[in-house]
Structure 1
Amino acid sequence: MASNAVTLNDLRLAANALEAAVGQVVVGQARAIRLVTISIFARGHVLLVGDVGVGKTTLLRAFGRALGGAYERMEGTVDMMPGDLLYHTFIHEDGRPRVELSALLAKADDLSIFFFNEINRARPQVHALLLRLMAERSVTAFNRTFQFPFLQVYADRNRVEKEETFELPAAARDRFLMEIPVEAPTDLEARRHLIFDPRFHDVDRLLDGIAAPVLDHRGLEAAAARVQQAIHTSAAVQDYVARLWDAIVHPAAAGVALSGIDMDRLVQGGASPRGVAFLVRAARVRAWLEGRDMLVPEDVRDVFVETMAHRLFLDPVYELRRESIVRDLCAAVLATVSAP
């Protein structure tokens, strides 16, 4: 047991070093960095949401550099088909057509971060293949099965432009551990650095500041399992999580109220058992990063919005305002349900 405690403590120090390394090149994003770190040790896939140019790609490239392993990015487009994830065709110098593995399949054995940019520009058929890859960490192509033992998928959702987009259905959103907002920094000093410091104008040179991997991505699955086993949960906290679940699914019955909203019809679905299990997984990692072996209500509250908001399915009357409504709903649930 003592050996396990030392190992987990050393791993926590490595996680802190991971955050510090990324924080040197991605300024003003401490919250996003912490949430991505939680997702890494909870081994869950992530939706990223934020405006153009706020640093989502830089953030993921920095984590990829600090973790080691392969990094791959793909752009969602309206004309993309599932095969584009698996192969690419070209005319060889001999004038004959060739078919080769996509970069995704070519890097399967060592791929640690796959960034699907603007996932809602891709068609539902592409989403279906991506969801299989996320769920099973494998795909079948060229008469063989490709395994992705270290894969985490990060998908960016364009929230501004709605033309030629295909929004993810609730069942697909539920596959993601978190939806992490990445916003422009509000700190004045961070803004000055990003605007005036030439170091932040060359991303490739900036990433060279992370000289070597801080963590070995090949050991994260085993490390994540040990973290989950090491964090204990009292009966009182288990009851608290269950009451939060009831309140988010049936807010009117729990006494949750939002101005101008019919609470009886607001939530049509979502907050599945898988989603609540994801909430607990993320909360356990948060407790471990804070140096505790016991889950406390603050751990659950800290990751509640990012793990629950995106998986709620609202009445169509409210869907156009879902971004503000679901966050207000989560805040109201946390304020209404008493913590032990």
Structure 2
Amino acid sequence: MIREEHLQDWRDAALSVETEVRKAVIGQDNVVRLINVALFARGHVLLEGDVGVGKTTVLRAFARAIGGDFERVEGTVDLMPNDLVYHTYVDADGKPRIEPGPLLRHGERLTTFFFNEINRARPQVQSLLLRAMAERTVSAFNREYSFPHMTVFADRNKVEKEETFELASAARDRFMFELRMETPRDKAVRRALVFDTAFHDVDALINQVTPGILDWQSLNSMAAAIQHSVSASEALERYVMDLWDASQNPAAFDVRIDGVDMKKLILAGASPRGMSALLRAARVVAWMAGRTHLVPDDVQAILPSTLGHRVFFTPVYEMRRAQIADTLVAQIIEKVATPR
């Protein structure tokens, strides 16, 4: 049984992970915190951002800090499901060989799996990744391979639309968070990224991160202990249920968006899986703050990243998702009564 002092030690380690990652990444404090929350809530993350904002760098920094192995796959239109499991080649003697692919080559040491430009990969490839995310297993060579410590991160190419396959709603729902990693706006940060040569050598930046801060093999059991250690009051439970209702029927909570017919906006609200992910993440936020009970701020801190991609709009509004989703979540937070 994990005692309180162990939780405190892990809390200190979790905060140390963020400190170390910030040695390699600047101007992305909120993204760093939410990735850390996802790790301890054992959830997967979908990243969005322009080219060159440091998505790979931040994930490599996390992988070094938490320990275990890192793997990256590039999404391409010709990528096939089997390419994730094995690859074939002809050796120097002219004999055919089969080697484990990126999902299998690290075995149970795989902790961080980054699928870059996932919407360039065909739906069949996305489906295989979904199973790996949900079950953390893959069947191959007449046996089942397990990677129980793996967290999947995926990035979507938002700029190019040719030869891309948009993620289905079920695929997006598998991700605990959808995070926007934008170009920093702070002038000092922008200047440092351009003129400070320390940020021009990614490998040197990653080497500044202290390796293996966590016992990554104990992360699952520690995550379960965190969930058991943080409680929710009846008032907080009612608040979360109201948020769920508002995602399905925002008009009932007087949520209004200019130019939108609220009665025709929602095709489907958040799923039970989504609300479960929200509570898991909120408990981690509370734990990181040193509390053993949830407060509304814990829920609101992760609501935009948890809820925005799980509310599905009718076709007439889906094309305007980027403009509507953020406003909808902000309105839900404002209109749903917060317990005191």
> TM (normalized to structure 1)?
0.98
Give the corresponding residue for 1:236: 235
Would you say the 8 A contact 1:170–1:312 is kept in 2? no
Give the corresponding residue for 1:214: 213
Would you say the 8 A contact 1:45–1:154 is kept in 2? yes
**Which 4+ residue blocks in structure 1 deviate beyond 4 angstroms?**
none
- Counterparts of 1:89 and 1:34 in 2: how far apart (Å)? 40
Determine whether 1:92 maps to 2:56: no
Would you say the 8 A contact 2:232–2:293 is kept in 1? yes
Determine whether 1:119 maps to 2:105: no
- Counterparts of 2:269 and 2:70 in 1: how far apart (Å)? 31
Letter in 1 for 2:68: G
* Aligned counterparts, 1:121-140, within 5 A: 121-140=120-139
C-alpha displacement of 1:270: 3.6
* Aligned counterparts, 1:170-319, within 5 A: 170-319=169-318
C-alpha displacement of 1:112: 0.2
Determine whether 1:327 maps to 2:326: yes
Residues 16-66 of structure 1: CA deviation (Å, up to 9, x unaligned): 100000011101110000000000000001100111100000000000000
Residues 129-160 of structure 1: CA deviation (Å, up to 9, x unaligned): 00000111100111111101101100001112
- Counterparts of 2:282 and 2:210 in 1: how far apart (Å)? 31
Residues 244-278 of structure 1: CA deviation (Å, up to 9, x unaligned): 11011101122111000011111101400110111
C-alpha displacement of 1:100: 1.4
C-alpha displacement of 1:97: 2.4
Give the corresponding residue for 2:167: 168
- Counterparts of 1:14 and 1:223 in 2: how far apart (Å)? 12
Give the paired residue count: 339
- Counterparts of 2:3 and 2:95 in 1: how far apart (Å)? 58
C-alpha displacement of 1:101: 1.1
- Counterparts of 2:264 and 2:184 in 1: how far apart (Å)? 36
- Counterparts of 1:136 and 1:155 in 2: how far apart (Å)? 17
* Aligned counterparts, 1:139-154, within 5 A: 139-154=138-153
Would you say the 8 A contact 1:234–1:295 is kept in 2? yes
C-alpha displacement of 1:319: 1.3
Residues 164-212 of structure 1: CA deviation (Å, up to 9, x unaligned): 1111111111111110111111222211211111111110111110142
Find the residue that maps to 1:105 and give its secondary structure.
Answer: coil
Letter in 2 for 1:61: R
Structure 2, unaligned runs of 5 or more: none
- Counterparts of 2:323 and 2:14 in 1: how far apart (Å)? 32
Percent same amino acid at aligned positions?
53
Letter in 2 for 1:218: Q
RMSD over equivalenced CA pairs, Å:
1.1
- Of residues 208-217 and 256-265 in structure 1, the stretch that sits farther from structure 2 once superposed is 208-217
Give the corresponding residue for 1:80: 79
Letter in 2 for 1:324: Q
Find the residue that maps to 2:264 and give its secondary structure.
Answer: helix
Would you say the 8 A contact 1:68–1:217 is kept in 2? yes
Give the corresponding residue for 1:27: 26
- Counterparts of 1:227 and 1:137 in 2: how far apart (Å)? 21
- Counterparts of 1:86 and 1:42 in 2: how far apart (Å)? 27
Find the residue that maps to 1:156 and give its secondary structure.
Answer: strand
Find the residue that maps to 1:95 and give its secondary structure.
Answer: coil
Find the residue that maps to 1:93 and give its secondary structure.
Answer: coil
Would you say the 8 A contact 1:68–1:213 is kept in 2? yes
- Counterparts of 1:224 and 1:272 in 2: how far apart (Å)? 22
- Counterparts of 1:248 and 1:134 in 2: how far apart (Å)? 25
> TM (normalized to structure 2)?
0.98
Give the corresponding residue for 2:46: 47
Letter in 2 for 1:153: V
Determine whether 1:110 maps to 2:113: no
